Amino acid sequence: MDSINSIHDSIVKNLRNENRIVTVSKLFTEFETDIDRYELGSLLLDEFDISPEVDEPCVKSACESEKLRNEGNSAFLKRQDLNAIQCYTSSAGYAPNESKELALSYANRSAVTFALKQFYDCLKDIDRALDGHYPDNLRYKLYERKGKCLKYLGDKVSAKENYKKSLEWVAKSNLSKEKQTSFNSSLNSALSDLELTDNVDKDCENSDVVRTGHQSDKLELSFPPNDEILCACDALKIEYSEEFGRHVVGTKDILPGQILAIERPFASILLPSAYKEYCFHCLKRCHSLLPCTGCTKVFFCSASCRELSWSQYHCIDCSLLERLYNFGCSNLEILSVRTLILAARVDKFSDVIKLIDGLTANNEGDPCKIGYNDQGKYDSEDYRTSHFLARNTELRTPADLFRRVIFAVCAIHFIDRYTDFFEINSPPAVYDDESPANGLLLMRCQAGGLLLRYMQIIPCNGHEVSEMCVTLGGAERNNNASSAPTTTNTTHNGDSNSLKRSTSYLDYACNEIGSALYPFLSLINHSCDPNVVRHSYNGDSVVLSAIQGIRKGDQILDSYSHHYALHDMKTRRSQLYQQYHFNCACIACTDNWPQFNDLPEDFIIKDNLQEEVMKSSEEFQSAYEKVLKGDFEGKLSILLDHLALLDRAVTRPCKEYNQCQEAIKMCQCLRTNHYVHSNF
């Protein structure tokens, strides 16, 4: 079967054999539109008679479902709970719709979530199994488990009802009379105990909320909402200059920790490595996932998310996604395809083309207003904000553009062959001057040109979606606790996507689970010493907060994953130029600040604030040590106050400033996407 690399190499080989490399490269540099580049790529595939073929996706299979369920059973017996959940989830994905295998997968997974005291997840799976084709001779077990869940959650009336149902169903079990009698005796005792217990088992109260942080805090902007930028506060505005292009500046003095924006993406994807633990649509962690009814790989936290996904994009990529990954497509390329599908599904594709033509024709006004809607708002969920993000076409080499073109041509080929994308979006009447056949050809070229555009936009503007995973009872803490590596968040292809830290009480790691296109965050320029930090929130949303004091008029600066405390200046500049095509001139680069371990321990205190700084520093050190041990309660305000004081009082760089920033980030992680798992 073919891959994107084999198709690309085959075309290059043919061109080289015909001595046409220089000619084609020259054409690529002369073309002014992505549609022209796409058309040339399409013509080359036709000329060399190349039709991409790809491995077929997996299909529903009772045998494969049973095999995966047995693997889950083995993992559960070994107390590998999270692995068992993934196996049972995969088993549900392969199980034929409305089958016994599907019900068995749900039931077995409920045993794991019960053991983890995740009772709401457990109840969902029990109900799905009982509503499905779960064997009659096993149902008594589920009613008993459901009764226990309800008891722990304080619903004694419903717990009694389910215990009684369990007693009724045990008669249909395959248990011997002796075992039935023993079971009945045990359950009758449980019924009697219900009268003696408190309403809620204190060890189990809100156990789901304790262990998954997607719903832990409802965060709000620290300033009134912005009249123009719908996701941001009124302490920010978009400006433009020849040096910085479109960028974001502060309109007020901003303190560390203040929340400046909460943005939903225009498009997001879940990475394949996260399919079995997170919702494919909202990207929230879930241990009671529902499978797609069409494919075997993706899952949803609810029927609602499954339906929304299908209506917005999965009706197209259900038959496409696994084929694209089999073809060797990267996550960047998959996000580009998702962006195309979403753009076309919001309105008719022909309406999107008309909108783009209008946007291009009217793109001569205020550069700060590019992408604004008809009401004068910058709305991240409006396609216009994504369309005009930077793509750096003029800085790309012909070889770079050519590979992207070949991907776009192959992707459109698969979309045309395996989906009804063009049938759904192509009423021929909208192309008044074209025959139906020519209208469809034109639509393919326009779709290919847009896909090529996204293939240039997303490498420069895509961001990761992440989750902080905290394991209680972690590894032994390094004796030099203060030498913790700096944690940063990253853009899509950043090199910090799995940052780990250990203390004597907990391990934690920031793991990349998805990728997303955030049109407002994409306007923020880079610094190796950023003054804001991003945290993924409520699934695929993002929270932007200050991590330094920011004065009115200062530019808002993010880190594109290359932080001075983690990487030397040469590495930072090289990687930033390679991916983003600019030479960084931030203060950390121009002054060549040292990395974290070489930062000065002492600092110069300004303005006769020595006594105040020393007192605050003592409080900080105490709070910092407690945070490293997993004691976060009440520490964030201490850390934020200390950082605000350091901003006013000390000369940077200094190690304590970085330590305070990192402790703040750790506390903020527990207000955003996080998961707590106990090893005790």
Q: What are residue 112's phi and psi, to 5 degrees? A: -75, -45
d(CA 459, CA 449): 16
pLDDT given for residue 556 in this prediction: 99
Give a three-class secondary structure readout of 302-336. CHHHHHHHHHHHHHHHCCCHHHHHHCCCCHHHHHH
β-bridge mates for residue 650, sequence order: 605
Residue 228 structure tokens: 């123009």
β-strand 462-472 against 674-678: which pairing, if any?
parallel
Instruction: Measure Cα distances from 85 to 70, 75, 102, 276, 471 in Å.
Output: 12, 9, 14, 8, 17
Chain centroid to Cα 496, Å, comes to 15
Residue 270 structure tokens: 């879940």
Q: What are residue 254's phi and psi, to 5 degrees? A: -125, 135
d(CA 220, CA 227): 16
β-strand 236-241 against 557-558: which pairing, if any?
unpaired
Is 117 among the domain residues? Answer: yes
| DSSP per residue, 611-633 | HHHHHHHHHHHHHHHHHHTT--T
pLDDT given for residue 492 in this prediction: 40
Give the helix ranges, DSSP H, for 466-609: 569-580, 587-590
d(CA 258, CA 641): 12
Instruction: Measure Cα distances from 6 to 43, 452, 575 in Å.
Output: 17, 19, 27
Question: What count of Cα atoms within 13 Å lies in the side-chain half-sphere of residue 434?
Answer: 14
Which SS3 state, helix, strand or coil, does residue 568 take?
coil
d(CA 366, CA 355): 18
Instruction: Report yes or no: 108 and 73 within 8 Å, Cβ to Cβ.
Output: yes
Is 582 among the domain residues? Answer: no
Is 228 among the domain residues? Answer: no
pLDDT given for residue 163 in this prediction: 96
Amino acid identity for residue 223 in this structure: F
Helices and strands in the chain, H and E counts? 25, 14
d(CA 678, CA 469): 11
Domain around 113: 62-193
β-bridge mates for residue 677, sequence order: 471
pLDDT given for residue 198 in this prediction: 59
pLDDT, tens digit, 9 for 90 and up, residues 110-165: 999 999 999 999 999 999 999 999 999 999 999 999 999 999 999 999 999 999 99
Give me the number of domains the chain comprises. Answer: 1
Give the helix ranges, DSSP H, for 312-397: 315-317, 321-326, 331-346, 349-361, 383-387
d(CA 516, CA 264): 9
What's the DSSP call for residue 483?
A: G
d(CA 360, CA 343): 16
Is 82 among the domain residues? Answer: yes
pLDDT given for residue 602 in this prediction: 86
pLDDT given for residue 211 in this prediction: 45
For residue 105, the domain's CATH number is 1.25.40.10
Residue 556 structure tokens: 């808002």
d(CA 377, CA 668): 29
Residues of the chain with pLDDT below 70 are 197-216, 346-348, 358-364, 426-437, 473-506, 678-680
Is 75 among the domain residues? Answer: yes
Is 227 among the domain residues? Answer: no
Q: What are residue 628's phi and psi, to 5 degrees? A: -65, -25
**Strand order in 541-546's β-sheet?**
259-263, 541-546, 532-537
Give a three-class secondary structure readout of 414-433. HHHHHCCHHHHHCCHHHCCC
pLDDT given for residue 364 in this prediction: 62
pLDDT given for residue 197 in this prediction: 65
Closest of 133, 142, 140, 130 to residue 175, by C-alpha:
140
Instruction: Report yes or no: 109 and 286 within 8 Å, Cβ to Cβ.
Output: no
The angle subtended at Cα 107 by Cα 102 and Cα 108, nearest 5°, is: 100
Closest of 667, 679, 662 to residue 631, by C-alpha:
667
Q: Which residues, 6 or more positions from 137, have their beta carbon under 8 angstroms from its beta carbon?
A: 172, 173, 174
Is 464 among the domain residues? Answer: no
d(CA 365, CA 367): 6
What is the C-alpha radius of gyration for the chain, rounded to an integer number of angstroms? 28
Is 298 among the domain residues? Answer: no
Instruction: Report yes or no: 251 and 245 within 8 Å, Cβ to Cβ.
Output: no
